[in-house]
Structure 1
């Protein structure tokens, strides 16, 4: 622990100084970077020898068998295309480091990671993908099996390897009960340094939102291009605005008084440092238009000062659209299987705002709506979500059950915790409406799954669900937007009282809308941006 504190006492002031006074400590930090390179050369050699050995063994095992059709070459630049210095781009054989300390978590962020690695492997078959992870309890075989089982993503085993970090606890929110934003950012510096002591990659990509880790890489290793896939900004103007009276979100109205003023100043100072950090990253991708807008407003002016010319690009995350459309029918016949059921798939976390949806549903039920399409059935709200291993989440579900009782809708609400995927698909087949209650959801994978299943969505009038997902198709709506309980209630009524013809037409438009968020669409845009990193690496290495 003493070493970590000594390291922090150097890294944090050094990074801040580098951000604010770029020339002050650059030479000393680059010396440290060169030292890390030298110390990881042996591991690099051993890793590449292992890749070669596993490749020979793998090819021997597959000899005489045709490669899976899914393993075709993909990319916006055809294999063999020459780049400016004459190097065959598809022949590039460097090491791409993916910084994802929780790679075995099995969520939407992890789906992005594995889809990105699969695309990278296909585009540059001679490159090696290294994942820096803190999941010590699982080995490579177990991780890849989970990737296949959970996401149906097939990876090429010989060219993917895992390096295990020992300092992951430093980025846990529980490790920083106060000044959490700053604490986790400092923790990411420790974690990144841990990664670099194991291996210095040729390209360094963060897919979890640790911008400070990328900044540290930029200063330690100027020739190593950095890339960020940003799911949501660590801090945003909306967060700052939410502190005011009448604000939205879990921090709404906490900016009053001396403590509130102190919190506001702290967030403003952190935002300034965060903006400087973002200006160091070579290639930036965001998962939605909403995230792009915030990242542009925060990082854009600072990136211009640092002459970062690559645009901040929207790369929609891959969603299991094909899997859902295959499992859920949308037709006149399937309409007979659906009932007046409203489905909400979301973790039982405070920001998902289940309370708002319960209140809206109570208002809808107590209005005794006339539903001609469902004359003999009672409306039902089905809440499906995972419960994290914490007392708070379990307590939250208990409190929501109590609220349903108090609102006199207990018989109309069903809670399903930690549902397996087949059960979720079963409800997508039976439900008519999908709802999302989170304010400023950065994207909304669950909403895309609703659309793929043909559900009519009633979503919050903000963030990704509003800007990217529940949008018009062929000039007609694919769902409804709402903010208040009354508006949600009205959205439920509209969705469940459409004529049979309009209902089916809207379901089909929703499914068409979901086609924009496939694995292939993600891969194409991911490679467009990763090709920039490879080109930068080739250019910098040649100097």
Structure 2
């Protein structure tokens, strides 16, 4: 039994919290801004695929609903509105009309950074995302809130406390059935360290934690009025966890610009005997850059054994977001030295869009090694640019992208192990120029399913009703 003083303290805390919530609900309803659509996107200046979705969505809605006010909840307090919109133009070539767009700069974004939570990361980050959403709601209560970055508690916070209509564009589930399966099977993975994988007791505890979290995640997701997802893989998990109908809205890719790339890779191979392999992706553990270095080692070893007189190199064009990413780059550089492939490796970090285009223009082959990638914008970019893709045989690349559409021949290669990746790469090098040209033509035709125009159409089909209600 608790001492009476503890009981009194707990009752007082519950009363104070309830009163605070009631006051917040009252103020939110009184301060709700009519004709306002807000995006909850605390890292809107990051320059990744999620940000391309954000800016394309705002541009699309500005064209259809020019009288609405658009707000972005951002934690990028080191950049002004003008700087953020300029970066969107420079990074994605997306022009946003600044006249009806405003930013609400959040002070508490640091609380959602995973560096603070070495343990119970999913739970604590998700809870802190809810706190960050509360801060956002205190500043502005919109008519419609769209979570475009994957903070599930923002949905019930704005729906139940703010009385807003809410929608979600899910790039990837916070927890997936695959993550639970990895723990259940006792596999070592980026989300399941070896010490836990080898312990039946710790595995049981972690699996129980995952299952409870998945139940809570589903409850939060059911607050959404409209759910959009970026592909078939995400749809299968979200529909199962949230018990919601999902609309698949493929992320927008700069297809037009990439299709116009002439392609210099065949010229480089013919004149310089050079084969350039390209990897595009943020420097995160799940992207599995270590596997890419091992693939390069395997390719070089086999090429030397087969006496293939070509100069093979790998360029890693990665996005570095913070100190953790920079530390990973240092570790990867050391690993490359251990493997003896440092002379065949080039790093291009945080490159501007123009330089990224030139890298695609010169690369014969592109690789993508993340297991269960949720979609894979860089995979689409490679297909459209004419760089022959070798992607991991799982997730979005397998289900939506490299899998050919109707009437289109082979558009690329799928692999799982370093040996399979190496075999695919060497097969591509050994093909005749005309055979590689046929793959490129099929890939470029297939990539048009992921254009910005198709995104605009699907976005408006999915969320148009909610936007009209906000107008």
TM-score, normalised by the number of residues in structure 2 = 0.88
1:142 and 2:142 are equivalent in the alignment = no
Q: Of the candidates 256, 281, 291, which is equivalent to residue 234 of structure 2?
A: 291
Residue of structure 1 equivalent to 2:328: 396
Residue of structure 1 equivalent to 2:372: 440
Matches of 1:409 and 1:177, distance apart in 2? 32
Residue of structure 2 equivalent to 1:347: 282
Residue of structure 2 equivalent to 1:177: 118
Deviation per CA, 1:444-475: give whole Å up to 9, x if none: 11111111110111110111111111122534
Residue of structure 2 equivalent to 1:492: 425
Matches of 1:364 and 1:327, distance apart in 2? 27
**Superposition deviation, residue 252 in structure 1:** 5.7
The answer on whether the counterparts of 2:411 and 2:443 sit within 8 Å (CA) in structure 1 is yes
Deviation per CA, 1:345-387: give whole Å up to 9, x if none: 2222221112212222222221236999xx7532222222133
Q: How does 1:465-484 map to 2 (within 5 A)?
A: 465-473=397-405, 474-484=407-417
Q: How does 1:351-500 map to 2 (within 5 A)?
A: 351-368=286-303, 376-390=309-323, 392-473=324-405, 474-500=407-433
Deviation per CA, 1:401-438: give whole Å up to 9, x if none: 33333333333222333333333222212211100111
Residue of structure 1 equivalent to 2:3: none
Deviation per CA, 1:1-37: give whole Å up to 9, x if none: xxxxx9xx769x98xxxxxxxxxx9xx9677423322
Residue of structure 2 equivalent to 1:521: 454
The answer on whether the counterparts of 1:101 and 1:168 sit within 8 Å (CA) in structure 2 is yes
Matches of 1:323 and 1:534, distance apart in 2? 30
Q: How does 1:195-344 map to 2 (within 5 A)?
A: 195-222=136-163, 224-243=164-183, 244-246=185-187, 248-251=189-192, 254-255=196-197, 256-300=199-243, 303=244, 311-329=245-263, 336=270, 339-344=274-279
SS of the residue 1:209 aligns to: coil
| Alignment RMSD (CA, Å) | 2.8
Q: How does 1:28-67 map to 2 (within 5 A)?
A: 32-38=24-30, 40=31, 44=33
Q: Cα distance 1:152–1:184, how it changes in 2: closer, same or farther (>3 A)?
A: same
Matches of 2:262 and 2:54, distance apart in 1? 26
**Superposition deviation, residue 332 in structure 1:** 7.8
SS of the residue 2:153 aligns to: helix
Matches of 1:335 and 1:494, distance apart in 2? 15
The answer on whether the counterparts of 1:371 and 1:496 sit within 8 Å (CA) in structure 2 is no
The answer on whether the counterparts of 2:265 and 2:361 sit within 8 Å (CA) in structure 1 is no
Matches of 1:186 and 1:334, distance apart in 2? 51
1:104 and 2:45 are equivalent in the alignment = yes
Deviation per CA, 1:17-61: give whole Å up to 9, x if none: xxxxxxxx9xx96774233222x26xx4xxxxxxxxxxxxxxxxx
Q: Cα distance 1:371–1:158, how it changes in 2: closer, same or farther (>3 A)?
A: farther
SS of the residue 2:192 aligns to: coil
Residue of structure 2 equivalent to 1:86: none
Deviation per CA, 1:82-120: give whole Å up to 9, x if none: xxxxxxxxxxx8110111112122221111111111111
| Larger displacement relative to structure 2 (525-534 or 325-334) | 325-334
Q: How does 1:71-110 map to 2 (within 5 A)?
A: 94-110=35-51
SS of the residue 2:278 aligns to: strand
For these two proteins, the number of residue pairs brought into alignment is 455
Residue of structure 1 equivalent to 2:4: none
Unaligned ranges ≥5, structure 2: 1-9
SS of the residue 1:155 aligns to: coil
The answer on whether the counterparts of 2:368 and 2:390 sit within 8 Å (CA) in structure 1 is yes
Matches of 1:408 and 1:266, distance apart in 2? 41
TM-score, normalised by the number of residues in structure 1 = 0.77
The answer on whether the counterparts of 2:117 and 2:125 sit within 8 Å (CA) in structure 1 is yes
SS of the residue 1:495 aligns to: helix
Matches of 2:93 and 2:306, distance apart in 1? 39
